[in-house]
């Protein structure tokens, strides 16, 4: 009798929690807003509960959440990158998630949202950069670094400088990571047990220095210019004025809409036959541990968002590499571009560390890239300064 009563009380508690929740709020960036609003309508029609989708700039979601959540404000759910997890967990702001059908997911995206052995997010996709090229200018994409440089210079010469041979957001460490890690650099080392050792920072070792010099060569050869950034690259490619770029699957819909005749290829092999190793990230849903609607938010994610059908709808609107294997099987039959990204990143990509100390890396490495590539500071000094800055912040 006591067991039955316990079950009834538990069910009543869940019912009351749901009944009291007028709505749940999601913070997400621009790319996911249309599909999440559509899914919110589906969920309300099925369960009678309102889901508000609020657009926040991707770069602002984590910082605003860190301010709002401890005060009991902000959203019930955020959509963001796996490398936010460590910092948010340490601050007590993410709720652990018990994910059904866990065996239906690729291990790596799940690992990205796992911290100290516990899952704190539901990944819907993973992504990272590869070469995207306009087939009107490039028939055979370069396979080596030297071929890329030669082809980029030839295209610019052939078109009188009206078409950029190669352009990317090169002062962004995320996009330039392929050179650092491919040549032997690393962010954090690991101890004998395999645990991340944040005191071991490998961003100024010989490999990292060589990686930065590879990028500097593109600047010295005038293939890249100081004003190049993501928006410049994106606009030029959409306008048919860039032959090759470095970008991820999130950009595919825009380039298709622009009518560009493009394809995807691996980042070329680096000098010495070394493989490029770009960062890749997993995108997913995380629950605010301070939310009054925690149970409801978890129910929305685990019983609705995490299903095969809904995850497929998300991919259709935001075509990155799906985290669910069964969705990936559907996608591979319909979109060879996604398959090319997945094949390259699955073989060579490195997941961004999700430890809180990673927050100290981005700004320091952005400064190092700007110093070395714009201001003429030697690569060795720029990276040594960055590592010193990272260690000081971590300490």
Encode pLDDT of 50-108 as tens digits. 999 999 999 999 999 999 999 999 999 999 999 899 889 999 999 999 999 999 998 88
List CB contacts of 383: < 8 A, sequence separation 6 or more: 203, 204, 208, 209, 212, 368, 372
The gap from C-alpha 362 to its chain's centroid, in whole angstroms, comes to 13
Gap between the Cα atoms of 55 and 73, Å rounded: 16
Show the beta-strand stretches assigned E in 29-161.
Answer: 50-55, 77-81, 114-115, 118-119, 122-127, 130-134
Gap between the Cα atoms of 214 and 210, Å rounded: 6
Distances (CA, A) of 392 to 171, 198, 201, 387, 395: 22, 12, 12, 8, 5
Q: What is the mean pLDDT of residues 104-121?
A: 89
The predicted-structure confidence for 139-166, as pLDDT tens digits, reads as follows 999 999 999 999 999 999 999 999 999 9
Tokens of 244: 């090759």
Closest Cα partner for 24 from 300, 280, 239? 300
Tokens of 274: 């070394």
Q: What is the mean pLDDT of residues 282-309?
A: 96
Q: What is the mean pLDDT of residues 386-395?
A: 95
Gap between the Cα atoms of 214 and 369, Å rounded: 12
**Beta strands 23-28 and 77-81: pairing type?**
parallel
Residue 282 bridge partners (DSSP): 126
Question: What is the model's pLDDT at position 319?
Answer: 79
Question: What is the model's pLDDT at position 116?
Answer: 83
More confidently predicted of 107 and 8: 107
Question: What is the model's pLDDT at position 120?
Answer: 97
pLDDT tier at 354 (50, 70, 90 boundaries)?
confident
Question: What is the model's pLDDT at position 7?
Answer: 46
Q: What is the mean pLDDT of residues 196-209?
A: 95
Gap between the Cα atoms of 278 and 276, Å rounded: 6
DSSP secondary structure of 262-316: EEEEPPPBBGGGBPP--EEEEEEEEEBTT-TTHHHHHHHIIIIITSHHHHHHHHH
Question: What is the model's pLDDT at position 395?
Answer: 83
The ranges assigned to domains in the chain are: 2-127+281-351, 130-279+354-394
Question: What is the model's pLDDT at position 12?
Answer: 46
Question: What is the model's pLDDT at position 230?
Answer: 98
Lowest mean pLDDT among 5-19, 74-88, 298-312, 360-374: 5-19
Under 8 Å between Cβ of 200 and 189: yes
Question: What is the model's pLDDT at position 2?
Answer: 54
List CB contacts of 23: < 8 A, sequence separation 6 or more: 49, 50, 51, 52
CA angle 143-149-151, nearest 5°? 75
**Count of CB atoms situated within 10 Å of the CB of 361:** 25
Q: How many CA atoms lie within 13 A of 301 on its CB side?
A: 28
2-127+281-351 maps to CATH 3.40.50.10860:
no
The predicted-structure confidence for 203-229, as pLDDT tens digits, reads as follows 999 999 999 999 999 999 999 999 999
pLDDT tier at 16 (50, 70, 90 boundaries)?
very low
Question: What is the model's pLDDT at position 1?
Answer: 52
Gap between the Cα atoms of 325 and 225, Å rounded: 40
The answer to whether domain 2-127+281-351 and domain 130-279+354-394 are alike in fold is yes
List CB contacts of 268: < 8 A, sequence separation 6 or more: 131, 141, 142, 143, 144, 145, 147, 148, 276
The predicted-structure confidence for 261-282, as pLDDT tens digits, reads as follows 999 999 999 999 999 999 989 9
List CB contacts of 176: < 8 A, sequence separation 6 or more: 170, 211, 215, 369
Q: Which CATH number fits domain 130-279+354-394: 3.20.20.70, 3.40.190.10, 3.30.300.30, 3.10.20.30?
A: 3.40.190.10
Residue 367 phi/psi, 5-degree rounding, is -65, -40
Percent of the chain with pLDDT over 70: 94
Q: Is 18 exposed, middle or buried (0-12, 13-18, 19+ CB in 10 A)?
A: middle
**Count of CB atoms situated within 10 Å of the CB of 150:** 14
Question: What is the model's pLDDT at position 133?
Answer: 98
As a whole number, the mean pLDDT across the chain is: 92
pLDDT tier at 334 (50, 70, 90 boundaries)?
confident
Counting every residue, how long is the chain?
Answer: 395
Question: What is the model's pLDDT at position 311?
Answer: 96
Under 8 Å between Cβ of 167 and 228: yes
pTM value surpassing 0.85:
no
Closest Cα partner for 287 from 92, 110, 129, 140? 92
More confidently predicted of 5 and 161: 161
Tokens of 343: 């094949």
Question: What is the model's pLDDT at position 3?
Answer: 54
Question: What is the model's pLDDT at position 346?
Answer: 77
Question: What is the model's pLDDT at position 18?
Answer: 46
């Amino acid at each position: 009798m006591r067991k039955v009563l316990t079950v009834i009380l538990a069910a009543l508690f869940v019912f009351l929690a749901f009944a009291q929740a007028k709505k749940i709020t999601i913070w997400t960036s621009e790319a996911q807003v249309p599909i999440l609003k559509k899914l919110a309508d589906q969920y309300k029609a099925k369960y009678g509960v309102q889901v508000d989708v609020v657009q926040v700039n991707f770069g602002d979601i984590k910082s605003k959440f860190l301010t709002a959540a401890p005060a009991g404000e902000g959203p019930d759910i955020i959509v963001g990158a796996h490398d936010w997890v460590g910092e948010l967990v340490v601050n007590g702001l993410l709720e652990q998630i018990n994910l059904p059908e866990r065996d239906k997911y690729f291990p790596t995206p799940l690992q990205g949202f796992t911290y100290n052995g516990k899952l704190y997010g539901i990944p819907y996709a993973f992504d990272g950069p590869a070469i995207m090229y306009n087939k009107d200018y490039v028939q055979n994409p370069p396979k080596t670094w030297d071929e890329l440089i030669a082809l980029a210079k030839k295209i610019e010469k052939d078109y009188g400088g009206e078409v950029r041979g190669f352009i990317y957001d090169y002062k962004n460490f995320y996009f330039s990571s392929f050179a650092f890690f491919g040549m032997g650099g690393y962010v954090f080392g690991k101890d004998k047990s395999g645990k991340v050792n944040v005191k071991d920072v490998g961003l100024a070792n010989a490999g990292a220095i060589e990686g930065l010099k590879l990028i500097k060569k593109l600047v010295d050869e005038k293939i890249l210019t100081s004003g190049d950034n993501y928006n410049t690259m994106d606009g030029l490619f959409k306008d048919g004025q860039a032959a090759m770029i470095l970008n991820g699957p999130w950009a595919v819909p825009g380039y298709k809409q622009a009518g560009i005749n493009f394809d995807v290829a691996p980042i070329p092999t680096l000098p010495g036959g070394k493989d490029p190793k770009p960062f890749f990230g997993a995108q997913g849903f995380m629950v605010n541990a301070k939310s009054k609607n925690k149970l409801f938010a978890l129910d929305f994610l685990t019983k609705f968002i995490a299903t095969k059908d809904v995850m497929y709808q998300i991919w259709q609107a935001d075509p990155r590499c799906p985290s669910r294997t069964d969705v990936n099987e559907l996608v591979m039959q319909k979109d060879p571009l996604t398959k090319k990204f997945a094949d390259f990143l699955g073989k060579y990509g490195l997941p961004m560390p999700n430890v809180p100390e990673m927050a100290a890396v981005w700004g320091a490495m952005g400064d190092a890239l700007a110093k070395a590539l714009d201001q003429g500071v030697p690569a060795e000094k720029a990276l040594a300064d960055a590592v010193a800055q990272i260690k000081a912040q971590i300490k």
